[in-house]
Structure 1
Amino acid sequence: MYDTMAQDGVPGGSPHIHLACGEAYVVIGGSGAVQTLSAAGFAEYELKSGTVLWFTPGTVHRLVNHGGLEIVVVMANSGLPEAGDAVLTFPPEVLADPDRYAEAVALPDGGRPGADITAAYRRRDLAIEGFQRLREGGPEALADFYAAAVRLKQSQLAGWRTRWRDGALRAATVTGEQLDALERGDPGHLLEAAVHAQPQPVEHGRLGMCGLLDTYPPPRN
């Protein structure tokens, strides 16, 4: 996780939401916290080695690094988060302008390993400015942020639906077919058992919203 100080004096990452995906953290080292904002209000949860924490779409989340925080992040929906499902908590005037949002969220060379990290810090600080305004504005400000986030992503929804249909929905459908087969006493799918392994991440140190990412692609059947 990023360990530099943001403009409010707290070290960590960029607050944001996911519109259609759940997210889970498995803490494997260090300590920190995650600050959240939802219709239930603001909350902060301690993170330490061994902690597992997960949340549903619409939860604004901001990771805080108290020292050496390392996390395994598991995302739902077969790569949908990487297809633009996240929205950073930029101020309303940025969210209202798709071109301005795209410029604010962009990273040099797409954030590939070795890219200029100061750009990630700049967009984090802008997201924290918006996050502070959301906390101060209460439920009405949060509702306005959700509405702006949905408008911002409307043009991408058809692609997201295709990814969901070919990934998460297909996996659930296959499970249903397997249960039907088991009820018939048919073990045929068991004969297709297989093992898949990926010994290393596909890249190390990609600039993420909350830290440097070692990334694994979503599994494909």
Structure 2
Amino acid sequence: MDEFPLPGGIGVSHLRAYDWAAEDGVCGGSPHLHLACTEAYVVTGGRGAVQTLSVGGYDETALEPGVIAWFAPGTVHRMVQGGDLRVTVLMQNSGLPEAGDAVFTFSPTVLADPAAYAEAAALPKTDDAARQRRDLAIRGYLPLREALLDGDSEPLRAFHRAAVALVAPKIGEWVPRWQAGALKAAELTGAHLKALADGDGSHLEQSGVRVATPSNPDGYGMCGRRAEYDIPGVTAPYGGGSAIDVEGRS
């Protein structure tokens, strides 16, 4: 059987939200946004919330088993631990998050310096490093939230502009990943539809079951400890990337 990716060329991982308290007393993950990808949380256990910032304001959405919450590009999101919160993450455009389609809410000074940002965003290898990265993002997040609560969306818009400037030089690297992942999956569906209309079902001979198990069952993500998967058929499986990337995984 030929290899093929998950439906739609998505990425998947499992998260257990961090239970470390931040400076505002809230336990949870590192606030960040995605620039080209929609992300979804499928809650599988425990309780918690996701705090979100958009130009429309601040919101907090309860997370409990059975809830699916998703957010469009540009939505700053912070996973909040309420008690054994566990989430399956579905990420649009597998391969792009590893290439940097996420930006932490670090301070404007860090965001303006690509080298400083890459150092601060590097994939952590210890609890202390993960917590330090989370706390740095929280310190930039809280002023954005306070401004929105006061009715001022300009600081968030400024963060959007800084995020775009930070990743713009990488877009040329993103396009081939998207073409080999989500676009290829959509084009394959088009080819199947055309074949079926012509009475050709030869692609059905590629049927069968593919199975993946976690390649890293206890890694560090933006929001919590994450089980990562290497899914065949994409240029960079969700959970890949390197410490020198503008790392972008939930």
What TM-score, normalized by structure 1, do the two folds share?
Answer: 0.93
Residue 119 of structure 1: aligned partner = 129
* Residue of 226, 230, 236 corresponding to 1:213: 226
Where in structure 2 are there 5+ consecutive unaligned residues? Answer: 1-16, 235-250
Q: What is the RMSD computed on CA atoms of the aligned residues? A: 1.3
CA distance in 1, matches of 2:38, 2:22: 26
In the alignment, is residue 202 of structure 1 matched against residue 212 of structure 2? no
1:70 aligns with 2:86: yes
How does 1:130-149 map onto structure 2 within 5 Å? 130-137=140-147, 138-149=152-163
2:153 is paired with a residue of what secondary structure? Answer: helix
- Report the alpha carbon displacement of residue 191 of structure 1 after superposing the two structures with TM: 2.0
Show CA shifts across 1:166-221 (max 9, x none). 111011011111111111122121122232112x2011211111111110124417
Higher relative contact order structure (alpha carbons within 8 Å, sequence separation ≥ 6): 2
Cα shift at 1:162: 0.7
| Match of residue 128, structure 1, among 126, 130, 138 | 138
TM-superposed CA distance for 1:125, in Å, is: 1.1
92-101 or 9-18, which moves further after superposition? 92-101
Deviations along 1:145-166, whole A, 9 cap, x unmatched?
1110011112211111110011
1:132-171 to 2 correspondences below 5 Å:
132-137=142-147, 138-171=152-185
Q: 2:33 aligns with which of 17, 22, 36?
A: 17
What residue is the counterpart of 1:193 in the other structure? 207
One-letter code of the match for 2:220? L
Describe how 1:84-123 pairs up with structure 2 within 5 A. 84-106=100-122, 110-111=123-124, 115-123=125-133
Question: What percentage of aligned pairs have identical amino acids?
Answer: 53
- Aligned structure 1 segments of 4 or more residues deviating by more than 6 angstroms: none
The structure with more helix, counted as a fraction of residues: 1
Deviation at 1:100, TM superposition (A): 1.4
1:5–1:11 contact (8 Å) kept in structure 2: yes
Deviation at 1:79, TM superposition (A): 2.3
Q: TM-score, length-normalised on structure 2? A: 0.82
Contact 1:78 1:219 in 2 (8 A): no
Q: 1:38 to 1:219 in 2, by over 3 A?
A: farther
> Structure 1, unaligned stretches of length 5 or more?
none
Structure 1 contact 79–218 (Cα < 8 Å) conserved: no
Q: State the secondary structure of the residue aligned to 1:165.
A: helix
- In structure 2, give the amino acid aligned to 1:173: E
Question: Partners in 2 of 1:10 and 1:144 — Cα distance?
Answer: 25
